[in-house]
Amino acid sequence: MTELLDFLQARLAEDERAAQQQMVPIPGSRESDEPPSEWPRSPGRAPDRRMLLDVDAKRRIIELYAEAAAEEHGLHPEADPCREVLDIVMHLLALPYADHPDYDRSWNP
């Protein structure tokens, strides 16, 4: 499952970068010697903001899964029905990236 979590984190980082690149600089709120790449930014369009919120929500889901799986008294592989459901959720989160070259077909839910 570690490979799947690493894969998801990498794809979410790519999605986040894509959303941030579409964000527009805020004029008039910068030091005169700062390059435009350092200016504060604001979402240019609603989909960009939604994409950032989507990335954040998915990261929280992955983090909760990783924390639960790591707890000594948390999820027990193959014995806990909650673990099975969470495993399926992780696989479903990866499904939109099925066309990525690093996607493992064994992750299909």
Per-residue model confidence as pLDDT tens digits over 28-48:
655 566 666 666 666 666 557
The model carries a pTM of 0.71
Total Cβ atoms within 10 A of residue 83: 18
Q: Minimum mean pLDDT among 30-34, 87-91, 96-100: which range?
A: 30-34
3-state SS, residue 51? helix
Q: Write the single-letter amino acid at 20.
A: Q
Total Cβ atoms within 10 A of residue 90: 20
Q: Minimum mean pLDDT among 54-58, 64-68, 92-96: which range?
A: 64-68
